[in-house]
């Protein structure tokens, strides 16, 4: 073979049937699944709406492709549970952790989850949030009243006022 041709093959600028094929480095495999499946604490999926379950599982799949896994911290809540969380920092001890009372929370509607990513970094929260928005969901990190970076919800085409006109009339 001419010297120039060998140089071009060596630099990868020309392919040769006699030259070994250039191999691309394989991407790092995604992290292992959390114990129990696609998301940790998957029992929190049990009472969510079917489309919200599908949303959370797809979110977990996409996050895993980027090296992030997550555990669910909560899912559907009763009116009483949501009101108890709302009372924190207001009429009950503890920090304020929610801006939604009664049925004004998508948790009560079975359309929201709270999550803890691994790695537990601001970047991982933000990436999971961005993926949630890409899938048509809402990320709590964009809330104007109370930033909730570990919260995502899925309610395409619905407004909370359409399903809960009065938080005092909350019904499980």
**Interval 72-85: pLDDT, tens:** 999 999 999 999 99
The pLDDT assigned to 172 comes to: 85
Per-residue confidence at 26, pLDDT binned at 50, 70, 90? Answer: low
**Residue 11 located in a structural domain:** no
**Residue 42 located in a structural domain:** yes
The pLDDT assigned to 39 comes to: 86
The pLDDT assigned to 66 comes to: 95
Among 1-10, 43-52, 158-167, the least confident range = 1-10
- Asked whether the beta carbons of 103 and 163 are under 8 A apart, the reply is yes
Q: Mean pLDDT across the stretch 120-132?
A: 98
- State yes or no: pLDDT of 22 exceeds 60: no
Q: Mean pLDDT across the stretch 139-157?
A: 96
Strand partners, 116: 71
Burial pattern 95-108, b for ≥16 Cβ within 10 A else e, equals: eeebebbbbbbbbb
Percent of the chain with pLDDT strictly greater than 70 = 78
Q: To which H or E segment does residue 112 belong?
A: strand 112-118
**Residue 23 located in a structural domain:** no
- State yes or no: pLDDT of 104 exceeds 60: yes
The pLDDT assigned to 122 comes to: 98
The domain tally of the chain equals: 1
Among 4-18, 86-100, 128-142, the least confident range = 4-18
**Residue 13 located in a structural domain:** no
Strands (DSSP E) contained in 42-109 are 69-74
Per-residue confidence at 7, pLDDT binned at 50, 70, 90? Answer: very low
32-88 residue pLDDT tens: 655 555 788 999 999 999 999 999 999 999 999 999 999 999 999 999 999 999 999
**Residue 33 located in a structural domain:** no
**Residue 24 located in a structural domain:** no
Whole-prediction pTM: 0.79
**Residue 18 located in a structural domain:** no
Domain, as residue range, for 138: 38-169
CATH number, domain at 65?
A: 3.30.1380.10
**Residue 84 located in a structural domain:** yes
**β-strand 112-118 against 138-139: which pairing, if any?**
unpaired
């Amino acid at each position: 073979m001419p010297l120039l041709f060998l140089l071009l093959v060596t630099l990868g600028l020309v392919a040769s049937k006699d030259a070994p094929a250039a191999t691309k480095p394989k991407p790092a495999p995604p992290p292992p699944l959390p114990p129990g499946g696609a998301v940790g604490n998957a029992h929190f999926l049990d009472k969510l709406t079917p489309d919200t379950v599908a949303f959370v599982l797809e979110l977990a799949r996409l996050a895993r492709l980027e090296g992030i896994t997550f555990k669910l911290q909560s899912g559907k809540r009763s009116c009483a549970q949501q009101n108890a969380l709302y009372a924190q920092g207001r009429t009950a001890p503890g920090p304020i952790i929610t801006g939604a009372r009664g049925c004004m929370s998508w948790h009560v509607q079975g359309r929201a989850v709270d999550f803890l990513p691994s790695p537990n970094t601001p970047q991982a929260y933000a990436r999971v949030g961005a993926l949630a928005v890409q899938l048509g969901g809402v990320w709590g990190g964009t809330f104007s009243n109370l930033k909730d970076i570990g919260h995502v919800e899925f309610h395409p085409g619905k407004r909370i006022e359409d399903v809960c006109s009065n938080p005092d009339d909350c019904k499980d």
